[in-house]
Amino acid sequence: MTEVTIDKAEDKVNEITEKKKRPRRKRREGTLARREAIAGYLFVLPWVIGVIAFLIMPLSNSFQYALANIKMTPKGRIISFVGYQNFTQIWFEDASFPTTIWGYVLNTLLSVPVIVVFALIIAMLLNDKIKLKGMFRLIFFLPVIVVSGPVMGMLADQGAATVPSMNVTLITGLLEGVLPGSLVTAISSLFENMIMILWYSGVQILIFLSALQKIDTTLYEAAKIDGGSGWECFWKITLPTIKPMLLLNAVYTVIFLSNNEQNSIIVMIQDAMFAASQGYGYASAMAWLYSVVVTLLVAVVAIVLMTRKDAYDRQVAKMKRKHRKDAREVRKIRRRNRRNEGKIASTTR
Architecture of the domain made up of 86-308: Orthogonal Bundle (1.10)
N-to-C CA span, the chain: 55
What are the CB-based long-range contacts (under 8 Å, 24+) for 167-172?
168/192
pTM of the model: 0.69
| Portion of the chain with pLDDT greater than 90, in percent | 5
How many whole angstroms separate alpha carbon 349 and alpha carbon 125?
86
Given pLDDT bands bounded at 50, 70 and 90, which one contains residue 43? very high
How many whole angstroms separate alpha carbon 301 and alpha carbon 289?
19
| Amino acid at the residue 12 | K
Average pLDDT, the chain: 78
Chain segment 48-99, per-residue pLDDT in tens: 998 888 888 888 888 888 888 877 777 777 778 888 888 888 888 888 888 8
How many CA atoms lie within 13 Å of 86's alpha carbon, on the beta-carbon side? 28
Degrees (nearest 5) of the Cα angle 119, 313, 214? 35
- Three-state SS sequence of 167-189: CHHHHHHHHHCCCCHHHHHHHHH
